[in-house]
Amino acid sequence: MSTYDQTRARLETYFDRTAAKAWERLTSDAPVSKIRQTVRDGRDRMRAQMLECLPRDLTGARVLDAGCGAGPMTVELARRGADVLAVDISPSLLDVAQLRMPEELAPRVTYHAGDMLDPAHGRFDFVVAMDSLIHYRAGDIAAALTALKARTDEKIVFTVAPKTPALTAMWWAGKVFPRSDRSPAIVPHTQATIASALRDAGGRAVLRDVGRVNSGFYISHAMELAG
């Protein structure tokens, strides 16, 4: 089994069983701890930042929300008129996403539990992958992006965990002191590392920096792949 498949299997177990209720609460309007509020605020800011990379009017566009979770990005894409395929490895979170989808937007969205890279999903105009690649190594990220780009006519907007001293230290601490009850490790990267991995994977698209969000216990860096 490849590294991508191994990591995806761990993520499926974590998000669909271990942490499904916690993520359902985090992505709602329910009160949370101060620490989790920083994560909620950071994710809201990152979602808005990624959406700025897409047209305001997505009417007629087919968009993949890769790793849609409880669906906040899916709602915003549907509001812009997109036909959205919302894919996640957690059926539990997809159930939440469907319950939260405004009734008037529901006809624009199709939900699918499974692998966001499945070629059976077909072609897209745009792909959005918010924090769904942050647990993977650079080579796996590049392979995923290359596979998606072959079926994407416009651009892919995605995030990675930036390689900061704090995140790097946390990653190494997790390697030395693993705990079975926590989420799979976040793997930090630089933009140069992702660009190099894309070249090694044969990708020729242009990688552009979109920006970083740092909100307490949430830190993520957005990029776009186009061309």
Helix (H) or strand (E) holding 101: none
Give mean pLDDT, residues 41-60.
97
Give the C-alpha separation, 166 to 176, whole Å. Answer: 15
- CATH top-level class for 3-162+190-226? alpha beta
Which pLDDT score, from 0 to 100, does residue 180 have? Answer: 46
Which of 14-28, 78-92, 181-195, 196-210 is most confident? 78-92
List of E strands, the chain: 62-66, 83-88, 109-113, 124-129, 152-162, 188-189, 206-215, 218-226
pLDDT at 1 over 80: no
Share of the chain above pLDDT 90, in %: 74
pLDDT at 106 over 80: yes
Give the C-alpha separation, 218 to 39, whole Å. Answer: 5
Supply the mean pLDDT for the chain: 90
Q: Strand pairing of 206-215 and 218-226?
A: antiparallel
Which pLDDT score, from 0 to 100, does residue 14 have? Answer: 86
Give the C-alpha separation, 49 to 209, whole Å. Answer: 12
| Sign of CA pseudo-dihedral 146, 200, 214, 169 | positive
Give the C-alpha separation, 200 to 197, whole Å. Answer: 5
pLDDT at 127 over 70: yes
pLDDT at 40 over 90: yes
Other residues' Cβ atoms within 10 Å of the Cβ of residue 9: 13
Give the C-alpha separation, 181 to 164, whole Å. Answer: 24
Which pLDDT score, from 0 to 100, does residue 116 have? Answer: 97
Which pLDDT score, from 0 to 100, does residue 186 have? Answer: 84
* Segment among 37-51, 71-85, 174-188 with least mean pLDDT: 174-188
- Of residues 79 and 22, which shows the higher confidence score? 79
pLDDT at 154 over 70: yes
For residue range 167-213, list pLDDT tens digits in order.
555 544 444 334 444 567 889 999 999 999 999 998 778 999 999 99
- Collect all residues with Cβ–Cβ distance below 8 Å to 73 and sequence separation of at least 6: 47, 50, 51, 65, 128, 130
Q: Which string of b and e fits 170-184 if b means at least 16 CB within 10 Å? A: ebeebeeeeeeeebb
- Of residues 6 and 95, which shows the higher confidence score? 95
